[in-house]
Amino acid sequence: MDLQTEKIELAKRLLETEDESVLLQIKEVFESHDKDFWHELPEHVKAGIDRGQKQVAEGKLTPHNEVMKNYERYTSL
């Protein structure tokens, strides 16, 4: 089923429903999808993300397999 057909089918079901809880759930999905969660994050979390992005830009990365080597002694318990 293509996107346009899917949208039409959903619109039909939306128009036919009399269940207010379904309508509220759909409204909540749209509202949460449109919301930018960045503004809701605590400042220390934003700072950590910014720090991580800066490290990526500077090439200060450790490959996953190296990180896993350092911690494999903890996974074999």
Residue from 34, 37, 14 nearest 26 by CA: 14
Model pLDDT, residue 6: 94
Tens-level pLDDT at each residue, the chain (77 residues): 799 999 999 999 999 999 999 999 999 888 887 777 888 899 999 999 999 999 999 999 999 999 999 888 887 66
Residue from 25, 35, 33 nearest 14 by CA: 25
Model pLDDT, residue 31: 83
Kindly list the distances between the CA atom of residue 74 and the CA atoms of 2, 61, 69, 70, in Å, as whole numbers in the listed order: 47, 22, 10, 9
